[in-house]
Structure 1
Amino acid sequence: METTSRVGAQAPAAEGGQRAPSARRTVDGYLLAPFPWYGLDDAFTGPRWLTPVGTGADGTVEHGSIGHGDEPSLRGESTADAERFAVVVTVAANPVRRSPDGTGVLEATTVSSAAWLAGVGLLSRTWPGQIDHSLRDDWLEQQTETAWELADDLDGAAWSTLSLPVDGEPTPFHYRESEFGWVLAGSTREGVHLGAYGRGMSAYGLGFAMIRDIGAYA
């Protein structure tokens, strides 16, 4: 997907319990979206956090991710294996998207788009400690290409089917595991595609629900 980060990452709370300005800008990006956002349902009672939204060439918000549990530390840190988190990616279902130069259209967003974003998201939270710094770019490029190939073949052997509740309704998802964690992707009745990735939290017990007030994340 040809998208870019629109706003900065979420910042820690400022003195007096107020969020720093960058956190407010992060929420503002979500408020601009013309589609609903999804996260884990009320069965999850732990911390939640936002990542930057992604936008199309015309600045329209196309996707964003809401984290649950431990906010992952930098890749490759020794504490990474102990982290427990699940990140839910919401992707607008757009049949037509303009190219960056405005002269054509891009491929429509699909369940594969959500699967790819989730796969790349998991990679961004992972870094094999045994890989030398000089090889990191090559490793990331290779793994990103693999994530795209897998997302483009959701009926392939790498994926299984998992049914999870979305707004209380059983919904089929494509699901796969790797040494870095798990990835899943599906669609909702509200016209958006969902991707998710995580580590340390089982995907089998998750449920998803529409977020009624994304502004509360400020």
Structure 2
Amino acid sequence: METTSRAVAQAPAAEGGEESPSARRAVDGYLRAPFPWYGLDEAFTGPRWLMQVGTAADGAVEHGSIGHGDEPSVRNEHVAGDDQDAKEKFAVVVTVAANPVRRSADGTGMLEATSVSSAAWLAGVGLLSFTWPGQMDHSLRDDWLEQQTETAWVLADDLDGPDWSTLSLPVDGVPTPFHYRESEFGWVLAGSAEQGVHLGAYGRGMSAYGLAFAVVKDVAEYA
């Protein structure tokens, strides 16, 4: 997927409870999407926050992520396996527009189609962004990320391979099949919804087996 991710972490409200300009800009990216956003259903009552949107070269929003639970810290910031790592419980839901192969906006080429593999890759890379090994030297991080990102793509391109299992989770109340895998850093899953989107998810400290997904009724409430 040739998209550009734009960080839009949830910003604090301005004094007096008014929405801050940065929070407004964050939610605007989500509001421009021509597809519905997904998150955990109402059974999850913890914090939720906007993370990032990915855009095509013409600025069209193609995917984005919504976080649930504890905002995760990069695992390198503390020793893996310590109390902080044990306490972090989060799940991130990635929504990807289901697009077929199509012409670019300028008509000069074709844009890559999106699929469940696209959602699996975005979820896998998302998990990596919070989980690089705690004992790794900073100078080696880029090489490690490049290698692991390539591995995430290879895994996402082989969803029927031995590294994945399957499970059924509710999406808008309908049992839906998902591809699922675990690693030492957390878990990743990917599937599709009936609303014209593919869904990816990743997390740590929260069991994937108890999750359920639903359309976000008003994404502006997360700003």
- TM-score band by shorter chain is over 0.9
For residues 35-114 of structure 1, what are the structure 2 equivalents within 5 Å?
Answer: 35-78=35-78, 79-98=84-103, 103-114=108-119
Query: Equivalent residue for 2:13?
Result: 13
What is the CA distance between 1:216 and its match in structure 2? 1.4
* 2:194 maps to 1:152: no
How far apart, CA to CA, are the structure 2 residues paired with 1:10 and 1:98? 33
Give the drift of 1:18.
Answer: 3.1
Paired residue total: 218
| C-alpha contact 1:159 1:176 (8 A) present in aligned 2 | yes
Structure 1 counterpart SS, 2:195:
coil
Gaps of 5+ in 2: 79-83
- Cα pair 1:7 1:29 within 8 Å, conserved: no
Instruction: Check conservation: 2:2, 2:112, Cα contact below 8 A.
Output: no
AA in 2 matched with 1:25: R
Return the offset for 1:11: 1.4
Residue deviations 1:130-150 (CA, integer Å, cap 9, x gap)? 111111111100000000000
Counterpart secondary structure, 2:52? coil
Q: 1:206 aligns with which of 188, 208, 211?
A: 211
Tell me which residue corresponds to 2:27.
27
Pick which of 48-57 and 73-82 moved more: 73-82
What is the distance in 1 between the residues matched to 2:188 and 2:176?
15
**Aligned counterpart, 1:161:** 166
Residues 177-196 of structure 1 correspond to what in structure 2 (within 5 A)? 177-196=182-201
Q: What is the SS of the residue equivalent to 1:193?
A: strand
CA–CA distance in structure 2, aligned partners of residues 196 and 100 of structure 1 = 29
CA distance in 2, matches of 1:102, 1:132: 45
Whole-angstrom distance in 1 between the partners of 2:207 and 2:17: 32
| Structure 2 counterpart of 1:128, one-letter code | P
| Identical columns (%) | 82
CA distance in structure 2 between the aligned counterparts of 1:77 and 1:175, rounded to whole angstroms: 27
Q: Please report the RMSD computed on the Cα atoms of aligned residues, expressed in angstroms.
A: 1.6
TM-score (norm. length: structure 1): 0.95
Is the 2:89–2:203 contact (alpha carbons within 8 Å) kept by the matching residues of 1? yes
**How far 1:59 sits from its partner (Å)?**
0.8
What letter matches 1:32 in structure 2? Answer: R
The 3-state SS of whatever aligns with 2:167 is strand
Q: CA deviation at 1:152?
A: 0.2
Residues 67, 143 of structure 1: alpha-carbon distance in 2 compared, 3 angstrom cutoff: same
Amino acid paired to 1:34: P
What is the letter of the counterpart of residue 8 of structure 2?
G
